[in-house]
Amino acid sequence: MGKVVYKDKFLTIKTRMITVRGKRLPMQSYEQDDVVVILPLIRKGVFLLERQFRHGVNHYMIEFPAGHMEKGEKAKAAAIREFEEETGYKPKQIRHLFDELTNSSTSKRLFHYFLAEKLVKTGKRHFDDYEILTTLELKDAQLSKMIKQNRIKDHKTMLGYLYYKKFIEKK
């Protein structure tokens, strides 16, 4: 519902009128594909992350692998596909952790988080045209310190890691 005011391959922006307490107001919303986020555990206490150039901020970010779901694709299949494309690894075990709405005031876009374990190197990497990235291994203490020092600013990496530490990690 609403009038499309902008549309490209990745983003649709719509506007519509809403009524709040009897007052008519314009409301914008955007539509984008859902995203999968993968927390790859190489071994106990060691994660595989990416150092990826992000054009929006014009510098490299350290983050968990992630990517857009394709139309009709299930979240788990997208997580496995994106993970292999970006890292050259496939998980023997992958499980869904949780879903997140990043901005429910303007979008229904979901981020689906997965824990990937027992990684097998396939070497089958395939980058999208915009992607410039390398992988790196970070120990749990390093990742925690980087988040605390605000050296990792990516919301999905911080949220995924903190969720893992609070609810998943076996002490």
Model confidence at 171, in pLDDT bands (50, 70, 90)? low
How many angstroms separate the CA atoms of 126 and 143, rounded? 26
* Whole-number average pLDDT of the chain: 95
The share of the chain scoring above pLDDT 90, in percent, equals 94
**Strand positions, DSSP E, 102-132:** 110-121
DSSP-assigned beta bridge partners for residue 7: 12
Pairing of strands 23-31, 12-20: antiparallel
How many angstroms separate the CA atoms of 112 and 156, rounded? 10
Instruction: Supply the pLDDT for residue 82.
Output: 97
The pLDDT tens digits of the residues spanning 66-100 come to 999 999 999 999 999 999 999 999 999 999 999 99
pLDDT at residue 58 tops 80? yes
Model confidence at 1, in pLDDT bands (50, 70, 90)? confident
Instruction: Supply the pLDDT for residue 70.
Output: 94
Is 1 exposed, middle or buried, given 0-12, 13-18 or 19+ CB atoms closer than 10 A? exposed
Instruction: Supply the pLDDT for residue 170.
Output: 80
The pLDDT tens digits of the residues spanning 102-136 come to 899 999 999 999 999 999 999 899 998 999 999 99
Output the CA torsion 85→89→90→93 (10° steps): -130
Neighbours of 24 (CB within 10 A): 8
Instruction: Supply the pLDDT for residue 98.
Output: 98
Question: What domains does the chain contain, in order, with CATH numbers?
Answer: 1-31 (no CATH), 33-168 (3.90.79.10)
Q: What is the mean pLDDT of residues 30-35?
A: 95
| Closest C-alpha among 129, 135, 29, 34 to residue 84 | 135
Is 48 exposed, middle or buried, given 0-12, 13-18 or 19+ CB atoms closer than 10 A? buried
Model confidence at 55, in pLDDT bands (50, 70, 90)? very high
What pTM value is reported for the model?
0.93
